[in-house]
Amino acid sequence: MAGDRIMVIDNEPGLCRMISMILEDQGYKVASYTKPKEALAAFQPGDWDLVISDVKMPEIDGLEVLQRLKSEDPALQVIMITAFATVEISIQALRQGALDMLTKPFEPEELIHRVEQALNHIRLLAENKDLKQELAGRFQFDNIIGVTSGLYEVLEKVKKIAIRDTSVLVTGESGTGKELIGQAIHYNSPRRDNRFIAINCGALPATLLESELFGHKKGAFTDAQADREGLLKAADKGTLFLDEVGNMPMNVQKTFLRFLQEQEFNRVGDTTPTRVNVRIISATNADLTEAVRRGDFREDLYYRLNVMNIHIPPLRERPEDIPLLTAHFIKEQNAKFGTGIRGLAPEAMEVAQHYHWPGNIRQLRNVIEASIALEGAESISLEVLSQFLEDLDVELTPSEPPKDDYNQALAQFETDYLQRLLKKADGNVEDAAKRAGMNMATVYRKLKKYGLKKSS
């Protein structure tokens, strides 16, 4: 594509000029070097779309040049040219990461064709990477695990809010998955092809937070050695996620409010305004209305951020989701460490479902990881699990099945789970099976076992 940047390295000045002229006539930006050392010194990762290098050169062999370039930029694509196209040299070049071999002498049309092929390959790789990132982002929505009505309501709200390009405030206790909800909103919105950037407003002092958000000019303060782009600029056309926004210092609140009103800001030490188009999603585990009452948070900023609100229920209000989350975390750990833990023992699962989980899902993940590290049996026992649960004081409510009737508890759980799953899938068994990661025949078998109908 016209405008692509190509570096040419060949110790023959005439060949360098010829290649440069041919490629420049096609609209490419070309820089040629007859000395490999100068080319290596000028090379900066990300500055070049393609490199064309001779194999046989004085000072540094072309294969060594290839090796050095790939070590600096593994994603770089290189075409090697040679008058001695032996099988051995070709294999060496391809093993070291060359994309193609071009044999001298060659016609201009062949050079142009090979370059176009190489650049198309690069674009396909970039598009594939972007597609994978987009799919990974979309998967974030499916990766929010649970069947309780509280979570179902949250996800239904996310679907509606995602397509409406306005500010969202996500509230909930620490560890409930607020950033995951933020990602779900972004990757199901029209901004999904652009960046999702998160920053914790409570992790940085006021001066650094201001610089991180808005950027700064060189010399704006002692450590400002060069101009820097802030996160707002980096998130242009995408989404900026402000975690723990209640901890944003008052002076930064003032500057940020101006940005929300004008959609422009000044970098620290800069007088020229910068305009961006960014969606803001905020999150907090604090009561911002109380912070407003105390004077710790600007009321006008609160209303700007809280155009739409999503509240995530704590894990203690989602006991039916604990078996699903536990199974997910065990599967993750088994895959990571090669273990074969099947699940929680019945009595351990019962305790887990009645524990208050002050750290919510984050705590559950950590407890499962720690338990697997100590457990020697096929299932995590209550003895092992309880070592990681502080203030353990589990009381069963009278409506709960008795402790020794695990089969009854399991049947009740599966019935509730299948009913909610079918509701989410609008009665489509195939879709329900995909959501649950189950075989469709298994779903039908369980529906028959519990006397459930698709319409239920």
Asked if domains 5-126 and 147-313 share a fold, the reply is yes
Axis crossing angle, helix 360-374 with helix 322-337, rounded to the nearest 10: 50
Please state which architecture CATH assigns to domain 398-456: Orthogonal Bundle (1.10)
Share the mean pLDDT of the chain.
Answer: 85
Which of the 8 DSSP states describes residue 268? B
Angle of helix 206-214 relative to helix 250-262, nearest 10 degrees? 20
- Fold entry, domain 315-395: Helicase, Ruva Protein; domain 3 (1.10.8)
Matching residue, tokens 């396909």 = 124
pLDDT at 455: 65
Alpha-carbon distance of 332 to 338, in angstroms, equals 10
Nearest-angstrom CA–CA distance, 278 and 191: 9
- The model's pLDDT over 161-182, given as tens digits with 9 standing for 90+, comes to 999 999 999 999 999 999 999 9
CA distance 196 to 181: 12
d(CA 386, CA 393): 10
pTM: 0.58
pLDDT at position 221: 66
**Average confidence (pLDDT) over 132-159:** 71
Q: Report the share of the chain in percent with pLDDT over 90.
A: 45
d(CA 325, CA 5): 48
What is the CATH number that goes with domain 147-313?
3.40.50.300
Tell me the fold of 5-126: Rossmann fold (3.40.50)
List the chain domain ranges.
5-126, 147-313, 315-395, 398-456
Q: Average pLDDT of 369-397?
A: 82
The mean per-residue pLDDT over the stretch 370-382 comes to 90
Quick check: 48 and 6 in contact, CB under 8 A?
yes
How many Å apart are CA 423 and CA 345, to the nearest integer?
29
The mean pLDDT of 39-58, rounded to a whole number, is: 90
